[in-house]
Structures are given as structure tokens and as C-alpha cells.
Amino acid sequence: MAPPTFHAMGIVLQLFEPLASSQPVALFTPQAPAPPTIPSAQYVIDVARAIGCKILICAPTFLETWIHSPEAVKLLASMIVVIFAGGPVSKATGDKLISAGVNIRSVYGATETAGCCDTFHLDTLDPTPDWEWLSFKDGVKTSEHKTNEHFHPAVENLPDVPGYATKDLFIQHPSNPELWRIVGRIDDVIVLGSAEKIVPLAQENYLQSLPFISGAIMFGRGRIQPGVLLEPKPDYAFDPKDTEALAKFRNQVWPYVVEANKLGPQFARVFKEMILATSPDKPLSRAAKGTTQRRAVYNQYAQEIDDLYNTVEESSDAHGVSAPHSWSPEAVLDWLTDHATSVNEGKTPSTTQDLFEQGFDSLSATYLRNRIIGAFRSSPDPFIAAAASSIPADIVFANPTLQWLASVVANLADPSAVWNSSKTHAEEVEDMVATYTKDLPIVTGKRPIDPSEGLVVVLTGSTGALGSHLLASLLKDDRIRKVYTLDRAEHIQERQQLAFEDRLLPLELLKSDKLRALTVNAGRADLGLDADILGEIKSNITHVIHNAWKVDFNLSLSSFESNIASTRRLIDIVISCENAVRFFFTSSISSTISSDTKHPVPERVNEDPGGGGPLR
């Protein structure tokens, strides 16, 4: 059950581990031209049971899902070891699994270093309360990985000796000096249970600037969603155990939290129920210079944070939700619209447009699925109540409009009825291509590019992993005289600096006169740019590197329509330029992952509508 091979862990687990251990590895059967199997938590546990799996490697979020299934936990307990990597597992989940006899272990590594902790001796493995602690190989000292004859990081960044520093922060085991536990990142990045990373400083700083707030600390390591702990100034202090006072405080601060949410990515969004307030008798721990001490605060309020997550989990659980008055598609659609509005911050979504284009994210989808399950369970019809267990984990992702979702839910409640069937993935691709290539002109007579005049490049998506390296390379290149970065986010210079710091790129490059960082509105034909700036770009650019794209492997094609539409708008701008501009679009292995070929994928445009992955 290894990750795909375009992930470093996939290479290790599919190739190196079987060679080193002489153990066979179980993979999903290749099934081209059909799309590849997407390993959901339920599907992985079903396949593991069917094949008699004895060693399972999984993402942390799968363990957070399986802990709620006694059958899944029983199966995991029968295995030799269950290994997780890529992010943290909450201590509560890990301890529950250990108590149930599940032998879980963490492995640690990075693309730059590969695996750098000691591996396991299968014949001496037993469930241990030290499941989250690691021991390291020779030459490795927690976050520093020194190069030696046995260990050679792919990237070296230590200032005095060859080796690589990860910026991860560890603490030593209180009784075993050979064991270490990762507690976070030196740069304060919060790693969610989904392995998505939040840089909280911009949101925290905004909230701390409010006249009635003296401190703000975001939290959420190893959890499905983040929260924020706010310290009211003395004149505004109250007892957070007073539920009415807490509700009033949340209502007061909520408009500002909404604004703070705009400073981070979608997965960093804080929901109203995830706002905590400090107690007057327990002020936030601060250093001598007055700054809050993040790790100390987490220890101060560990119980309150755990209690909050427990409360939210219970409130979003599937129990206690009323069913629709009937299970016809029309009645289900009305019911879904009401509940989708509730989990979408009170904004009523269109029933025919993609939910994820209207503000939904993974958390919203989870909440809506929970309510669907609750409706099934509350039905007096025993058949419908039993069908609650068959609701797929990806039901909202796979049916991202309310109309589609209503038909699927109605069919689950009454399989004898047949409602409108969905188009195939290939048909959806063909329709999308037809929509966005309509009226696309054939362009001739443009001015050839003269490299001697210096190249002018437009780069989108400059703050991601690839984008920040592209930007650094462009700024270093003497052939390039100007770089325009077009990004949707506000405070783009701050984000570019954070991206460079996180990837250890030279910050002085961002001071180059070549660089002009612009914030755009991808929903407008002119990208929301001032007419003079847009005219300057059209007159001078020679190359466009379009690197901005939503990254979410749960989503269906329709959820990417805004990205596709903005690509067409960017192409229209290129067509109107004076130069014969070259347009480069970055993609991934997923664009050809379902190609019907047993040979290497040719380096040409893939015109097979079924050739891409089902989520692209």
C-alpha cells in the first residue's frame, strides 16, 4: 500500500524496502486505460484484509480515520507493524492504537536526505508507549545530517561541514538519550495531520494587532484543522469557562478572524468554533522581550486544546442529524443545500456549480459527509439506516455539485430508483476542452524574440516549492532582464520571502531590480492589473511560465475549472502581445498517469481524454 512513485517515499517503499528486507510488497493492479485506483482509507484497509497484509505503511490521516472503526483497529492489531510517515499522528490516536495492541511506528526522512532514522528489527517489535520516538543513524544528529561514507544527503546546506539541516525541532527522551521526538519546526510551521504546512505568523500578527487582543497563537499540529488561542487585553478579559461570555467573544472577534484567514491558504482557515480564549489567571508565556513563546504556550494550554478538538469532533459527528422529509432527489437537494450553507459560513452555494469553486475545502466536505451519514442513521427505515456504512469517504469530492450529490444520495437511499447518471471522465475532459478552446485563434505575424535584447519572463505560482526555485533561477540568469510574478495572494513580497527562507534560497535575490511582484485577480480578463502595467507586460514579455495550479488530489475535474479558465485568460493576454511569446505550462506525471501504453510516455501533447488521472 505504498504511495505513488512520484513521491520519494513511494520509491523507497516500492523499490528499496523489498530489496533490503526480502519481503514482497502489495500494490494495486495496473489497469490502464482505466484510471488508477485512488487509495482511500476504507479501500486500503479492505485490501489489506483481503491479502493478509502483515506490514502496512500509510499516511497519518488514515490512522486518524481507522481509530473510529473497531474492525479496522482489530485488523491493524493483527499485523507485525503499522508504519506512518509524511506528518504527525495525534498523541491521543497513537496512544489509543497502542492500547488496542496495534504496533505503530514512525519513520522520518526527506527528499534531500532519504530515510535517516534507524529501521526496525521485525523479530523484536512490540507495541510501545514510545511509538512516536525515533533513533538516528550514525552521522545524523536529529535535524543535522552530516555527510559521511555511509550517508550522503542530496542537498548540503550546513555552513561549516558537508551535510543538510532540516529545520525540524526535536526533544530528547527523558530516560533514553538515544531516542528523539519531533515537536515542530524551527520556523514555526504547523504541520497538519494531512501533512499540509501552515506558516501562521501573518494570521497571528494580524490578530495581535487588534486593540482588544494582546496575543495570538495558532495550533493544530497533527490535527485535521487549525485553531487559534487569543489572549484578550486586561480590560476585555473573561472566564472562558463561561459559555455565554465565550460565545460573545467569538462573535466579537469573528470578523477579524475572517480577515486573518485571507492571509493564509485555504487549509489554514480557522473556523469560529476553533477560537479559544486564554484564562485571566493563565497569561500566555512570554520571553523577556515580550514575545510569546509558542512551545511553552502549547504546554500551558494542552488540555484546553485537546478538550476543544474533542468538543468539535462530537459536534460534527454523524449522530443527531434529521433526515430529509423524503429521499427523492428534489427533497435531498433542498436538504443538502441547507446543510452545505451551514458548513460554508452561511453562504448558500449554487446547486449546479462546483462546491470547491465556491469556498468548500476538505474540512467542509468532511462536515457535509458527516451530516449525510447522520441523516441516514436517523431514518426509521432499517435499510436506509444500514446504508450509512456504505457512504464513500470521497462522496462529496467525487460529486462536487449539489445536484450530482443529491442524485447519488437518493440512489443510496433507494437503489431501485435510477436517477440521472454522470458523464464519464473522458467525456467531461472533452467538454472542458471544447469550452476553453472555443474561438482560440491561430496567431501569425508576431515579432520574433531577440535574446540579445534580454528576456522578459512572467512567472505564476512563485511561492510554491517549484515556483520559488524557478524564481531564484530566473533572477540569477544574466540573460533575463525582467521577471514579473503574478500571484493571487495578498502580501506577495512577504510570502516570497517566507518561501525562500523555507527552502534556503538566497534572500538577496528578492531585492533584485529585475523583480516586479504583482497580485492579480485571475477571474478577470485583465487579471485585475492596472492598464499601464498590463500594457508594459504586453509590450515586453518574451516567455510565460504558468506554474500556478490548485494542488488537491481529492478533487474532481470540475473543481479545477477556475484554474482552467484563468489559463485561457493568460493565453488570451499572450495572444495580444507584440512578441511571439513562448508559453510554458508546468504539469506532473498525473497528466499521463492513465495513458493506454506499455511504453515510455512520448514527449508530445497528450490528446487522449482518458490519459490523465481522474483528479486532474
State pLDDT tens for residues 183-219: 666 667 888 876 778 878 778 878 987 889 988 999 9
Helix axes 41-51, 70-77, angle to 10 degrees: 40
Q: Tens digit of pLDDT for each residue in 439-471?
A: 888 888 788 888 889 999 999 999 888 999 999
Query: Minimum mean pLDDT among 14-23, 42-51, 232-241, 476-485: which range?
Result: 14-23
Q: Is the dihedral of CA 477, 483, 488, 493 positive or negative?
A: positive
At 592, the pLDDT band (50, 70, 90 cuts) reads low
Statement: residue 289 has pLDDT above 80: no
Full DSSP string of 222-268: TSSS-EEEEEE-GGG---TT-HHHHHHHHHHHHHHHHHHHTTS-GGG
C-alpha–C-alpha distance, residues 366 and 134, integer Å: 32
- Residue 578, classified by CB atoms within 10 Å of its CB into exposed (0-12), middle (13-18) or buried (19+), is exposed
Residue 63 confidence (pLDDT) above 90: no
DSSP symbol at 184: E
The answer to whether domain 8-178 and domain 451-585 are alike in fold is yes
Is the pLDDT score of 556 beyond 80? Answer: no
Out of 3.40.720, 1.10.1200, 1.10.3470, 3.90.79, the CATH code matching 329-422 is: 1.10.1200
The per-residue pLDDT for range 492-524, each reduced to its tens digit, is 888 888 888 878 899 899 999 999 999 998 888
pLDDT band at 336 (very low <50, low <70, confident <90, very high): very high
Domain chopping of the chain, boundaries: 8-178, 190-312, 329-422, 451-585
Angle subtended at Cα 495 by Cα 489 and Cα 498, rounded to the nearest 5 degrees: 160
125: three-class secondary structure by DSSP? coil
Secondary structure (3-state) at 404: helix
Distance CA 573, CA 594 (A): 32
CATH 3.40.50 is the classification of domain 8-178? yes
| Beta carbons of 388 and 376 less than 8 angstroms apart | yes
pLDDT the model gives residue 392: 80
Residue 604: pLDDT over 80: no
Q: Topology of 451-585 in CATH?
A: Rossmann fold (3.40.50)
Task: Give the per-residue pLDDT at 544.
Answer: 96
Residue 600 burial (CB < 10 Å; 0-12/13-18/19+)?
exposed
Which pLDDT value is given to residue 615?
Answer: 45
89-141 confidence digits (pLDDT tens): 777 788 889 999 999 988 887 777 767 776 666 666 778 888 888 887 654 55
Q: What is the pTM of this model?
A: 0.45
CATH number of 190-312: 3.30.300.30
Assess whether pLDDT exceeds 60 at residue 410: yes
Nearest CA among 191, 170, 2, 204 for reference residue 84: 2
pLDDT top residue among 249 and 435: 249
Distances (CA, A) of 159 to 144, 169, 199, 502: 11, 18, 25, 16
Residue bearing cell 467569538 = 250
Q: Give the model's pLDDT for residue 290.
A: 59
